[in-house]
Amino acid sequence: MLRAGLLVLALVACRSEPRRSDDLASAMPKHWIGPKVEVRGPNAAKATLIRFWTDRCPHCRVSLPAIAALRDEFHEQGLETIAIYHTRRPRPPQAAEIEAIAHGLGYDGPIAADLDWATLSAAGLGDRTRKMTSATFLLDHDGKVRFMHPGPEIHLSSDPEHLVCEQAFGRLRSCVQAVLDE
Protein backbone atom coordinates (compact mmCIF):
# COMPACT_ATOMS: atom_id res chain seq x y z
CA MET A 1 0.00 0.00 0.00
CA LEU A 2 2.86 2.38 0.79
CA ARG A 3 4.35 1.84 -2.67
CA ALA A 4 1.03 2.59 -4.32
CA GLY A 5 0.73 5.79 -2.27
CA LEU A 6 4.22 6.87 -3.29
CA LEU A 7 3.36 6.26 -6.92
CA VAL A 8 0.24 8.40 -6.76
CA LEU A 9 1.99 11.22 -4.91
CA ALA A 10 5.25 11.23 -6.81
CA LEU A 11 4.86 10.46 -10.45
CA VAL A 12 4.81 13.71 -12.32
CA ALA A 13 3.25 14.15 -15.72
CA CYS A 14 5.62 14.67 -18.60
CA ARG A 15 5.65 18.44 -18.39
CA SER A 16 7.72 21.10 -16.77
CA GLU A 17 6.57 22.15 -13.33
CA PRO A 18 8.48 24.46 -10.97
CA ARG A 19 9.83 22.64 -7.95
CA ARG A 20 12.96 22.66 -5.85
CA SER A 21 14.58 20.10 -8.16
CA ASP A 22 14.39 22.53 -11.11
CA ASP A 23 17.80 23.78 -9.96
CA LEU A 24 19.20 20.30 -10.60
CA ALA A 25 20.69 21.27 -13.98
CA SER A 26 22.83 23.99 -12.42
CA ALA A 27 23.94 21.78 -9.53
CA MET A 28 25.60 18.89 -11.34
CA PRO A 29 28.41 17.19 -9.39
CA LYS A 30 31.99 18.42 -9.60
CA HIS A 31 33.47 14.93 -9.80
CA TRP A 32 33.03 12.91 -12.99
CA ILE A 33 34.19 9.40 -13.74
CA GLY A 34 34.80 9.72 -17.43
CA PRO A 35 33.56 12.60 -19.59
CA LYS A 36 31.31 15.26 -18.11
CA VAL A 37 27.78 15.42 -19.47
CA GLU A 38 26.06 18.73 -20.18
CA VAL A 39 22.40 18.65 -19.12
CA ARG A 40 21.31 21.89 -20.78
CA GLY A 41 22.54 24.15 -23.52
CA PRO A 42 23.84 23.59 -27.04
CA ASN A 43 25.82 20.45 -26.16
CA ALA A 44 23.07 18.81 -24.12
CA ALA A 45 21.22 15.72 -25.24
CA LYS A 46 17.52 15.95 -26.13
CA ALA A 47 16.82 14.33 -22.75
CA THR A 48 18.96 13.38 -19.76
CA LEU A 49 17.95 10.66 -17.34
CA ILE A 50 19.55 10.96 -13.91
CA ARG A 51 19.57 8.24 -11.27
CA PHE A 52 20.95 8.88 -7.80
CA TRP A 53 22.47 5.70 -6.41
CA THR A 54 24.82 4.28 -3.84
CA ASP A 55 26.61 0.97 -3.64
CA ARG A 56 25.01 -0.31 -0.45
CA CYS A 57 21.42 0.33 -1.48
CA PRO A 58 19.39 -2.74 -2.53
CA HIS A 59 16.90 -0.50 -4.36
CA CYS A 60 19.70 1.02 -6.45
CA ARG A 61 20.98 -2.43 -7.34
CA VAL A 62 17.68 -3.28 -9.08
CA SER A 63 17.04 0.20 -10.51
CA LEU A 64 20.40 1.04 -12.08
CA PRO A 65 20.13 -1.79 -14.63
CA ALA A 66 16.73 -0.37 -15.68
CA ILE A 67 18.37 2.98 -16.38
CA ALA A 68 20.97 1.15 -18.47
CA ALA A 69 18.17 -0.55 -20.42
CA LEU A 70 16.57 2.81 -21.23
CA ARG A 71 19.98 4.11 -22.31
CA ASP A 72 20.37 1.14 -24.64
CA GLU A 73 16.91 1.67 -26.08
CA PHE A 74 16.95 5.45 -26.55
CA HIS A 75 20.57 6.62 -26.73
CA GLU A 76 20.60 6.86 -30.53
CA GLN A 77 17.41 8.99 -30.38
CA GLY A 78 19.09 11.52 -28.07
CA LEU A 79 18.84 10.19 -24.52
CA GLU A 80 21.81 10.57 -22.21
CA THR A 81 21.96 8.99 -18.77
CA ILE A 82 23.95 9.91 -15.68
CA ALA A 83 24.34 7.65 -12.66
CA ILE A 84 25.10 10.06 -9.82
CA TYR A 85 26.83 8.19 -7.03
CA HIS A 86 26.60 9.42 -3.47
CA THR A 87 27.91 7.72 -0.38
CA ARG A 88 26.91 7.25 3.20
CA ARG A 89 30.33 5.81 4.01
CA PRO A 90 32.70 7.81 6.21
CA ARG A 91 35.39 7.36 3.53
CA PRO A 92 34.09 7.35 -0.05
CA PRO A 93 35.37 4.71 -2.45
CA GLN A 94 37.80 5.64 -5.20
CA ALA A 95 36.55 6.46 -8.68
CA ALA A 96 37.69 3.11 -10.09
CA GLU A 97 35.68 1.24 -7.45
CA ILE A 98 32.56 3.31 -8.12
CA GLU A 99 32.90 2.63 -11.83
CA ALA A 100 33.44 -1.10 -11.22
CA ILE A 101 30.32 -1.30 -9.06
CA ALA A 102 28.21 0.48 -11.70
CA HIS A 103 29.57 -1.80 -14.43
CA GLY A 104 28.87 -4.82 -12.23
CA LEU A 105 25.24 -3.70 -12.10
CA GLY A 106 25.12 -3.49 -15.89
CA TYR A 107 25.45 0.29 -16.21
CA ASP A 108 28.14 1.57 -18.56
CA GLY A 109 27.03 5.16 -19.13
CA PRO A 110 28.39 8.38 -17.63
CA ILE A 111 28.94 8.45 -13.87
CA ALA A 112 29.31 11.43 -11.56
CA ALA A 113 30.12 11.43 -7.85
CA ASP A 114 28.17 13.75 -5.54
CA LEU A 115 30.46 13.31 -2.55
CA ASP A 116 29.28 16.43 -0.72
CA TRP A 117 25.57 15.77 -1.49
CA ALA A 118 25.22 19.21 -3.12
CA THR A 119 23.37 17.81 -6.13
CA LEU A 120 21.16 15.67 -3.89
CA SER A 121 20.31 18.78 -1.89
CA ALA A 122 19.50 20.77 -5.04
CA ALA A 123 17.15 17.94 -6.02
CA GLY A 124 15.40 18.17 -2.66
CA LEU A 125 16.75 14.82 -1.47
CA GLY A 126 18.57 13.68 1.62
CA ASP A 127 17.43 16.41 4.00
CA ARG A 128 15.62 15.98 7.29
CA THR A 129 12.24 15.55 5.64
CA ARG A 130 13.38 13.37 2.73
CA LYS A 131 15.62 10.51 3.86
CA MET A 132 15.26 8.56 0.61
CA THR A 133 18.04 9.44 -1.82
CA SER A 134 17.60 6.84 -4.58
CA ALA A 135 15.51 8.92 -6.96
CA THR A 136 15.25 9.28 -10.73
CA PHE A 137 14.84 12.48 -12.76
CA LEU A 138 14.29 13.12 -16.46
CA LEU A 139 15.45 16.49 -17.76
CA ASP A 140 14.70 17.96 -21.15
CA HIS A 141 17.23 19.76 -23.39
CA ASP A 142 16.72 22.98 -21.41
CA GLY A 143 17.46 21.25 -18.10
CA LYS A 144 13.85 21.32 -16.92
CA VAL A 145 12.66 18.40 -14.82
CA ARG A 146 10.01 16.56 -16.83
CA PHE A 147 9.62 13.48 -14.65
CA MET A 148 10.60 12.59 -11.13
CA HIS A 149 10.34 9.25 -9.38
CA PRO A 150 11.15 9.46 -5.67
CA GLY A 151 12.37 5.90 -5.39
CA PRO A 152 13.15 3.66 -3.96
CA GLU A 153 12.80 1.30 -6.96
CA ILE A 154 11.98 1.70 -10.63
CA HIS A 155 12.38 -1.32 -12.92
CA LEU A 156 10.67 -4.04 -14.91
CA SER A 157 9.50 -7.07 -12.97
CA SER A 158 7.13 -9.98 -13.29
CA ASP A 159 6.88 -10.20 -9.49
CA PRO A 160 3.45 -8.96 -8.28
CA GLU A 161 5.22 -7.41 -5.27
CA HIS A 162 6.99 -5.07 -7.71
CA LEU A 163 3.98 -4.07 -9.83
CA VAL A 164 4.30 -0.43 -8.75
CA CYS A 165 8.00 -0.46 -9.73
CA GLU A 166 7.10 -1.80 -13.17
CA GLN A 167 4.29 0.73 -13.63
CA ALA A 168 6.65 3.54 -12.71
CA PHE A 169 9.20 2.23 -15.20
CA GLY A 170 6.54 2.19 -17.92
CA ARG A 171 5.59 5.74 -17.09
CA LEU A 172 9.23 6.84 -17.20
CA ARG A 173 9.77 5.07 -20.52
CA SER A 174 6.72 6.84 -22.00
CA CYS A 175 7.94 10.18 -20.72
CA VAL A 176 11.41 9.61 -22.20
CA GLN A 177 9.78 8.88 -25.56
CA ALA A 178 7.57 11.95 -25.32
CA VAL A 179 10.48 14.29 -24.55
CA LEU A 180 12.56 12.78 -27.36
CA ASP A 181 9.64 13.22 -29.79
CA GLU A 182 9.27 16.96 -29.07
Helices (H), the chain: 2-10, 58-74, 95-104, 118-122, 163-181
**Torsions phi, psi for 39 (to 5 deg):** -105, -5
What's the CA angle centered on 7, arms 118 and 123, to 5 degrees? 10
Nearest to 162 by CA among 170, 171, 153: 153
Global pTM value? 0.85
pLDDT tens per residue, the chain (182 residues)? 444 433 333 344 455 444 555 678 889 999 999 889 999 888 899 999 999 998 888 888 889 999 999 999 999 999 999 999 998 778 889 999 999 999 999 999 999 999 888 898 888 887 644 567 889 999 999 999 999 998 888 888 888 888 898 899 999 999 999 999 99
Q: What CATH number belongs to 2-181?
A: 3.40.30.10
Residue type, 53: W
